[in-house]
A and B are shown apart, each in its own frame.
Chain A
Amino acid sequence: MSGAFDQMYREVILDHYKNPRGHGTIEDPDAEADGQNPLCGDEVSIYVAFADDGETIAEVKFSGRGCAISQAATSMLMEMSVGRTATEVATMEKEELLEEIAIPLTPVRLKCAMLGLTTLKVALHKAKGTPLPEGLAGFDELELT
């Protein structure tokens, strides 16, 4: 049984969870978005600053709260995104992140793991004015203000 724990909560996941990389905010970011996981109420905000070419991701940070899987996955994503272009990251296949996470995930936990990537993609698409891919669009909400 402890084997099953070790598989899911392997050392690198717990390390990213306890010492998240790129945790924080960026003032006046070039791109930003907030994401929520409606299943559990977890929230993440992602901030991006581009390099002078307006395309390369110079800095990326996240804030918010979530479970070990979502926080660790977002932390890994921060490391994976710096230095790459907005287009590259906006079209990143989820498998690339999943390979990095490298733990067995149930469908519910997959949503935890993808929260950061989804939010980052929304931020980049919004900043570049490119249409949100299917599955990311359609966040209609009841405006109450």
Chain B
Amino acid sequence: MGNVVVNTATKLDAHALRADFPIFEQEFHGKPLAFLDSAASSQKPRQMLEAMNRFYETSYANVHRGVYELAERATEGLEHARERTRAFINAPSTREVIFLRNATEALNLVAYSWGLNNLGPGDAVVVTELEHHSNFVPWQYIAKRQGADFLMLSIDESGDPDLSQLEEIARDHTVKVVATNLVSNSLGTIHDLVPLVEWAHEQNAIFVCDAAQAAPHMKLDVQALDCDFLAISGHKMCGPSGIGALWGRAELLQSMEPFLLGGHMISSVRADKTMWGELPHKFEAGTAPMAEAVGLGAAIDYLEAIGLDKIEAHEHELAAYALGRLGEVPGITLYGPSAERRAGVVSFNLEGIHPHDVAQILDLQGVAIRAGHHCCQPLMHKLGVAATNRASFYLYTIPEEIDQLVEGLYAVRKVFA
């Protein structure tokens, strides 16, 4: 499996792992880069980049078409990546693993292909206040279009949805879809989805899990989770941009209409009738993002060689350290749950200083954080702010970067003093 060194220590060594990431070899504004925006997109290890390059240099041709050996090799590359992705989420079958551009496209696929044929007046789609727009806007749009209700569970300060609302919702609506994230990209909350999944299935609703922020950080198991659909994005988990995956139960995927139409997704085309292809091809119109899929497979290899459990533990440790250090900064408000309940994401505000200004001044000190609504405007509304600052961590994040952030925040305060 390439040149990944299997780490047998109990903890991962982030300082050592950084050497796998070429991006850290440069400076910004004369400072080493403190990259604290991994929740937006992760950096890329050499092993993944080399796997993609190797594929282009030795195995590239269009897949599933040519009879020549090179085309077969390309197909093998793509299908091997599908198998790696299946195993990564513990899906029963590769037929249920659909390669798409990202989690957003995956969630749109479900909203359109399932929603347009299954939602109508009197039905309801239930999401939470803590959704990324990718698991919010498609449902809002399709529900509206179908005359169905779109309901939002409010959340508490830790980001947990208020489940006391469920009884009333079930009384007044036919719930058809429950769609939530497993890990919040803005508060970092790791959700216990069991009660919501059980409730959804009691309502005969489908449960759609946005795992884009969970996949980089924890072991996923669609069977243990008992969800019906699950979406991930490669770029957040050391893979390339432009590749993500949707997992869905085969019987649901089979009952659905395709999302995109065209080449590859058919079994036969006549002037009067077109038959859809088999799973997963029915949902993969056009030439696949093959090299990107190979990159995703290599990213999974990379993460698994380190160990998802170690990555998760590392992030909890960083979250605890960051919450402690940031808590010392005067005028700071920290959002979200305690460290053990969050992935490596810390959102905060400095009193009287807009996040854009915070992020700008931090940038001049080589610290990259996110300032904005993080595609979570309903949450910002809840918090009563237009935006927050967000520092997010990954397997290559070291405590020194958090120190650099804290130091930077004191400089921000000085400018606005």
Q: Which residues of A contact B (CB under 8 A)?
A: 1, 4-5, 8-9, 14, 39-43, 65-71, 109, 112, 142, 144
A144 and B356 contact, Cβ closer than 8 Å, known pairs A5-B361, A5-B411: no
Q: Is there an interface contact between B140 and A5, defined as CB atoms closer than 8 Å?
A: no
Q: Does B222 contact A (CB under 8 A)?
A: no
Which residues of chain A have C-beta atoms less than 8 A from B355's C-beta?
Answer: 40, 67
CA distance A54 to B360 in the complex (A): 41
Q: Is there an interface contact between A41 and B29, defined as CB atoms closer than 8 Å?
A: no
Q: Is there an interface contact between B371 and A40, defined as CB atoms closer than 8 Å?
A: yes
Tell which of B30, B353, B354 has the most Cβ of chain A within 10 Å: B354
Q: Is there an interface contact between B386 and A65, defined as CB atoms closer than 8 Å?
A: yes
Minimum C-beta distance from A67 to chain B (A) = 4
Q: Which residue of the partner chain A has the closest CB to B377?
A: A41
Q: Is there an interface contact between A66 and B361, defined as CB atoms closer than 8 Å?
A: no
CA distance A5 to B364 in the complex (A): 8
Q: Which residues of B contact A (CB under 8 A)?
A: 29-30, 137, 140-141, 144, 150, 353-357, 360-361, 364-365, 371-373, 377, 380, 386-387, 411, 415-416
Minimum C-beta distance from B243 to chain A (A) = 25
Minimum C-beta distance from A133 to chain B (A) = 26
A67 and B361 contact, Cβ closer than 8 Å, known pairs A1-B29, A39-B372: no
Which residues of chain B have C-beta atoms less than 8 A from A66's C-beta?
Answer: 354, 356, 386
Minimum C-beta distance from A110 to chain B (A) = 12
Minimum C-beta distance from A76 to chain B (A) = 17
CA distance A68 to B353 in the complex (A): 8
Minimum C-beta distance from A108 to chain B (A) = 8
Q: Is there an interface contact between A40 and B361, defined as CB atoms closer than 8 Å?
A: no
Which residues of chain A have C-beta atoms less than 8 A from B137's C-beta?
Answer: 142
Other A-B contacts than A40-B355, A42-B356, 7 sampled, CB-CB below 8 A, are A1-B29, A1-B364, A8-B360, A40-B371, A40-B387, A69-B357, A144-B144
CA distance A68 to B356 in the complex (A): 8
Q: Is there an interface contact between B144 and A41, defined as CB atoms closer than 8 Å?
A: no
26 CB-based A-B contacts, threshold 8 Å: A4-B29, A5-B415, A14-B416, A39-B372, A40-B355, A40-B373, A40-B387, A41-B372, A41-B373, A41-B386, A42-B387, A43-B386, A65-B386, A66-B354, A66-B356, A66-B386, A67-B354, A67-B357, A68-B353, A68-B354, A68-B357, A68-B416, A69-B357, A109-B356, A142-B144, A144-B140
Which residues of chain B have C-beta atoms less than 8 A from A1's C-beta?
Answer: 29-30, 364-365
Minimum C-beta distance from B396 to chain A (A) = 25
A142 and B354 contact, Cβ closer than 8 Å, known pairs A41-B380, A43-B386: no
Which residues of chain B have C-beta atoms less than 8 A from A4's C-beta?
Answer: 29, 364
A69 and B387 contact, Cβ closer than 8 Å, known pairs A5-B364, A41-B372, A144-B144: no
CA distance A69 to B150 in the complex (A): 37
Q: Is there an interface contact between A9 and B373, defined as CB atoms closer than 8 Å?
A: no
CA distance A69 to B356 in the complex (A): 9
Q: Is there an interface contact between B386 and A9, defined as CB atoms closer than 8 Å?
A: no
A41 and B141 contact, Cβ closer than 8 Å, known pairs A1-B29, A1-B364: no
For the complex of A and B, list the 9 residue pairs with the smallest distance between their C-beta atoms, beginning with the closest: A67-B356, A67-B354, A41-B373, A40-B372, A41-B386, A4-B364, A68-B357, A40-B387, A67-B357
CA distance A68 to B416 in the complex (A): 10
Which residues of chain B have C-beta atoms less than 8 A from A8's C-beta?
Answer: 360
CA distance A71 to B354 in the complex (A): 10
Which residues of chain B have C-beta atoms less than 8 A from A109's C-beta?
Answer: 356, 360
CA distance A71 to B360 in the complex (A): 15
Which residues of chain A have C-beta atoms less than 8 A from B356's C-beta?
Answer: 40, 42, 66-70, 109, 112
Which residues of chain A have C-beta atoms less than 8 A from B371's C-beta?
Answer: 40
CA distance A142 to B144 in the complex (A): 9
CA distance A137 to B318 in the complex (A): 45
Which residues of chain B have C-beta atoms less than 8 A from A142's C-beta?
Answer: 137, 140-141, 144
Minimum C-beta distance from A116 to chain B (A) = 14
Minimum C-beta distance from B85 to chain A (A) = 32
Which residues of chain B have C-beta atoms less than 8 A from A40's C-beta?
Answer: 355-356, 371-373, 386-387
Which residues of chain A have C-beta atoms less than 8 A from B353's C-beta?
Answer: 68
Minimum C-beta distance from A34 to chain B (A) = 13
Q: Which residue of the partner chain A has the closest CB to B364?
A: A4
CA distance A56 to B140 in the complex (A): 43
Which residues of chain B have C-beta atoms less than 8 A from A39's C-beta?
Answer: 372
Q: Which residue of the partner chain B has the closest CB to A5?
A: B415
Which residues of chain A have C-beta atoms less than 8 A from B357's C-beta?
Answer: 9, 67-69
Minimum C-beta distance from A15 to chain B (A) = 12
CA distance A16 to B72 in the complex (A): 65
CA distance A109 to B359 in the complex (A): 11
CA distance A100 to B365 in the complex (A): 27
CA distance A14 to B30 in the complex (A): 26
Minimum C-beta distance from B366 to chain A (A) = 9
Which residues of chain B have C-beta atoms less than 8 A from A144's C-beta?
Answer: 140, 144, 150
CA distance A21 to B137 in the complex (A): 37
Which residues of chain B have C-beta atoms less than 8 A from A42's C-beta?
Answer: 354, 356, 386-387
Minimum C-beta distance from B144 to chain A (A) = 6
Q: Which residue of the partner chain A has the closest CB to B363?
A: A106
Which residues of chain A have C-beta atoms less than 8 A from B373's C-beta?
Answer: 40-41
